[in-house]
């Protein structure tokens, strides 16, 4: 059926996800298409964020432009974490300067029961955009699809937007554990189908964003979040692709996050990469972990930090270079491009043998 498609398992990005040896460390960036990039802003001037997400021609264009301009090894489809909320029956909008606002946040067991799980086909525009990007790159770059993790999406549904202390989310979790479980179960149903659409459209890898998992204590993560996250990871892997599981501020959670069985864990910058990887017994691949704000520094400091991260990875199979979180508005584009050059410059020199002697 896919005779004309090149063997994607040989792409260095996919190989690194599977901890197979690569010719050089693959690199891409969280939020590589975004407001720091003039080409994105040019499209954004004429269209809202949701219009770009919902028009496969525009979503494909901004995805391709960013990946080509940065010369990275993978393209992440332009979309947003919150898109599945709409087809579950929660309307939201992005308000300028304030981030997302969910009009009627979810607070009760009855609200959970009203959520719909049978309208995921309404998200087909994401798959259509992936098809366009995959056809454009034709296997030259890895194609990343993504979705939110159950906890992080639940937190937006319940808080109604971003949050500092996640009080409403944790209240539902602690005080209505049955409703909490039903909510996460419903999210897993929708998200696995959403991921399956993206895989069918040509995604080589799915990244699951549990961006705010770091707000949880380890016992709360284990009791209330890990089971649903593990189920989603397993179900996406059963679709035949590796899974990257990503969170921020997760140093103490990483070994538990590893229990999801994800192929790759995203690392933030607060823990040195070698320390985090050793703590995982090198049992999965890792992605990271430059502080995105380092991109505002002089090139010499950026170069040093890139070199340090690659030296810590020490040429072990299974490192994907990235930031610890997304590129922020105002980041100089040339510094992002410089990181790609530094990764190329340094990574072949760090074969495992040299790293052992050096
Ligand atoms: O290049 C890429 O990384 C793909 C595009 C992408 C977007 N959102 C587009 C976007 C991705 C991967 C996301 C994921 C996403 N969305 C996350 C998880 C990633 C993370 O940061 O941990 C979250 C939490 C969201 C929800 C969301 N979307 C928020 C909180 C905001 C507002 C914050 C902000 O930066 O303003 C958005 C808006 C958003 N999504 C923008 C982009 C490019 C910027 C807004 C715009 O263009 O108007």
354 has a pLDDT exceeding 50:
no
96 Cα nearest atom in ligand 1: 48
Instruction: Determine the length of the chain.
Output: 358
Q: What is the mean pLDDT of residues 50-59?
A: 98
Residue-level pLDDT at 232: 98
From 90, 94, 246, mutation site for ligand 1 pocket: most ligand atoms within 8 A of C-beta: 94
Report d(CA 34, CA 128) in Å as an integer.
Answer: 20
Give me ligand 1 centre to Cα 172, in Å: 25
Nearest CA to ligand 1 atom 46: 49
269 has a pLDDT exceeding 70:
yes
Q: What is the mean pLDDT of residues 130-153?
A: 98
Give me ligand 1 centre to Cα 80, in Å: 6
209 Cα nearest atom in ligand 1: 18
Give me ligand 1 centre to Cα 31, in Å: 7
350 has a pLDDT exceeding 60:
no
Q: Quickly list DSSP for 256-319.
A: HHHTTT-SEEE--TTS-HHHHHHHTTT-SEEEEEE-GGGGGS-HHHHHHHHHHHHHHHTT-S-E
Nearest CA to ligand 1 atom 47: 49
Residue-level pLDDT at 59: 98
Report d(CA 149, CA 216) in Å as an integer.
Answer: 14
φ, ψ for residue 99, nearest 5 deg = 80, -165
Instruction: Indicate if the alpha-carbon torsion angle 51, 54, 57, 61 is positive or negative.
Output: positive
Residue-level pLDDT at 352: 54
Give me ligand 1 centre to Cα 355, in Å: 37
Nearest CA to ligand 1 atom 37: 99
Give me ligand 1 centre to Cα 278, in Å: 31
289 has a pLDDT exceeding 50:
yes
- 294, HSE (Cβ side, Cα atoms, 13 Å): 23
161 Cα nearest atom in ligand 1: 30
Q: What is the mean pLDDT of residues 130-140?
A: 97
Nearest CA to ligand 1 atom 2: 31
Average model confidence (pLDDT) across the chain: 94
Residues lining ligand 1, Cβ inside 6 A: 30-35, 44, 49, 76, 78, 80-82, 94, 99-100, 146, 162, 209, 211, 326
Give me ligand 1 centre to Cα 100, in Å: 9
Residue-level pLDDT at 6: 43
- For 162-200, the pLDDT digits (tens) are 999 999 999 999 999 999 999 999 999 999 999 999 999
21 has a pLDDT exceeding 60:
yes
351 has a pLDDT exceeding 70:
no
Residue-level pLDDT at 349: 63
Q: How many CB atoms lie within 10 A of CB 110?
A: 9
148 Cα nearest atom in ligand 1: 18
φ, ψ for residue 212, nearest 5 deg = -105, 15
Residue-level pLDDT at 97: 78
Residue-level pLDDT at 218: 98
33 has a pLDDT exceeding 90:
yes
The residues that are catalytic are: 31, 35, 44, 80, 156
Q: What is the mean pLDDT of residues 17-23?
A: 96
């Amino acid at each position: 059926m896919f005779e004309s498609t090149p063997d994607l398992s040989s792409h260095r990005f996919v190989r690194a996800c599977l901890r197979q040896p690569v010719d050089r460390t693959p690199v891409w960036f969280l939020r590589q298409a975004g407001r720091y990039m003039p080409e994105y802003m040019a499209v954004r001037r004429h269209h809202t964020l949701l219009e770009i997400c919902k028009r496969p021609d525009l979503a494909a264009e901004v995805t391709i432009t960013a990946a080509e301009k940065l010369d990275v090894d993978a393209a992440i489809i332009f979309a947003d974490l919150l898109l599945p909320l709409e087809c579950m029956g929660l309307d939201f909008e992005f308000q300028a300067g304030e981030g997302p606002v969910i009009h009627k946040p979810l607070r009760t067991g009855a609200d959970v029961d009203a959520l719909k799980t049978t309208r995921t086909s309404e998200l087909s525009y994401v798959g259509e955009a992936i098809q366009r990007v995959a056809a454009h790159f034709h296997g030259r770059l890895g194609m990343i699809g993504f979705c939110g993790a159950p906890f992080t999406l639940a937190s937006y549904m319940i808080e109604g937007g971003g949050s500092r202390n996640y009080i409403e989310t944790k209240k539902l979790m602690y005080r209505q554990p049955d409703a909490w479980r039903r909510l996460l179960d419903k999210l897993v149903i929708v998200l696995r189908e959403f991921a399956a659409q993206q895989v069918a459209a040509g995604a080589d890898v799915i990244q699951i964003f549990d961006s705010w998992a770091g707000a949880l204590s380890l016992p709360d993560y284990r009791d209330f979040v890990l089971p649903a996250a593990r189920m989603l990871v397993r179900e996406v892997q059963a679709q035949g692709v590796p899974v990257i599981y990503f969170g921020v501020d997760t140093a103490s959670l990483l070994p538990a996050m590893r229990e999801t069985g994800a192929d790759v864990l995203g690392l933030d910058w607060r823990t040195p990469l070698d320390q985090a990887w050793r703590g995982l017994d090198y049992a999965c691949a890792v992605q990271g972990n430059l502080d995105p704000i380092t991109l505002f520094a002089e090139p010499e400091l950026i170069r040093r930090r890139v070199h340090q991260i690659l030296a810590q990875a020490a040429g072990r199979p299974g490192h994907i270079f990235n930031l610890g979180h997304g590129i922020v508005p105002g980041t100089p584009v040339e510094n992002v491009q410089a990181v790609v050059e530094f990764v190329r410059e340094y990574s072949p020199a760090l074969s495992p043998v040299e790293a052992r002697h050096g």
